[in-house]
Amino acid sequence: MGNERLILLGGWNRYYGLNAFVNELNDQFEQKYTRAQLEQGWTPKTAGKTSFTYRSKLQTPYSDETVLGLSSKLNNTALSLKWVNRDNQDQLRKTKMNLEDLSYSYDNRGRSASDIYSLSIRNLAPLAFLGAQHRLALNADYTETTRNFDHYDSTDILTATPQVYYKGQLIDAEDRPAHEFHVPWTVRLNWEMQFDRLPLTLSHFLSYQGKVDALKCEAKGYTDAQGVQHDAYTPYTTQNKFYWDLKASYRIPSVKNTQTILGLTINNVTNRANSFIDSSGSAQPDIGRQFIADVTFKF
């Protein structure tokens, strides 16, 4: 057996997605309803014709994944480095052709690619310090992603206009940059403290996340020389985000083969005003300081 001082890893995989049976069901049972006023009943809204009868008749989306990495265990430290490349092909996209009768078509024009770099360092055995046993884990990752869509239903219809106003000019809606949902880089520190003379464990979860490029949309915010209105998009960047979550667990002495644990979780201890990017690419406020108490009984 080796001493695990140095381990090299590599691999290549292909993953197929999109369950054909689920898509058949969605095509057959999806129904939209509308009503003119609140007091009126709902009536079915008939969709228009589709270019494809069934989504399952399209090519099955797939992802090619390449992995390279190394790990090492030396003294009381475990370290690992990893690179993952994902190439997503034939991703399903839905394009609505007409706003009035809801006619639409499907295609396999979705493409995306990602490079993910990650680093992990942790101690193998706990460190004794100030009357407690400490476990530390530092994780960092960096992601680069390019794609030509936001999600499967992301097409011209989301802008409501075939062309949009972006950076001082009209461009085709398909050429509008996709919203970034992923955080480009994150550093996380997990610190667990288990006290020697108290049945108490404190777990700290600290993370620092990088900025995200996003788009603000003003519906029909630009009117061209012919009087046609177009959605207007303005690029902006979010702020770096810091999170500190804390969990305390107190074990109450119990009878044989049973255990009672009192828990208290505090999310966003510093009550920072962080934000996240929603599905439309807009920044929304994240939760503030949050307290969660729980009782666990094991037998």
Question: In the prediction, which pLDDT does 249 show?
Answer: 96
Query: Is 233 a domain residue?
Result: no
Q: Is 88 a domain residue?
A: yes
* CATH code (residue 14): 2.40.170.20
Question: How many domains is the chain built from?
Answer: 1
Rounded CA gap, 290 and 83, in Å?
Answer: 35
Closest of 65, 70, 82 to residue 13, by C-alpha:
65
What's the mean per-residue pLDDT of the chain?
A: 81
State whether residue 175 is helix, strand or coil: helix
The answer to whether residue 2 is domain-embedded is no
Q: Confirm whether 181 is domain-assigned.
A: yes
Distance CA 96, CA 12 (A): 36
- What is the extent of the structural domain holding 199? 7-159+166-213+238-298
Please write the tens of the pLDDT for every residue from 62-107: 899 999 999 999 899 999 999 999 998 887 776 656 555 555 667 7
Assigned domain for 225 exists: no
The Cα–Cα gap between 203 and 75 comes to 24
Mind spelling out the 3-state secondary structure of 239-277? CCEEEEEEEEEEEECCCCCCEEEEEEEEECCCCCCCEEE
The answer to whether the beta carbons of residues 163 and 173 sit under 8 Å apart is yes
Rg (CA), the chain: 26
Residue 228 within any structural domain of the chain: no
How confident is the model at residue 18, as a pLDDT?
57
pTM for the predicted model, two decimal places: 0.70
**Domain contains 230:** no
Q: Answer yes or no: is 112 within a domain.
A: yes
The predicted-structure confidence for 214-235, as pLDDT tens digits, reads as follows 777 777 888 888 888 888 888 8
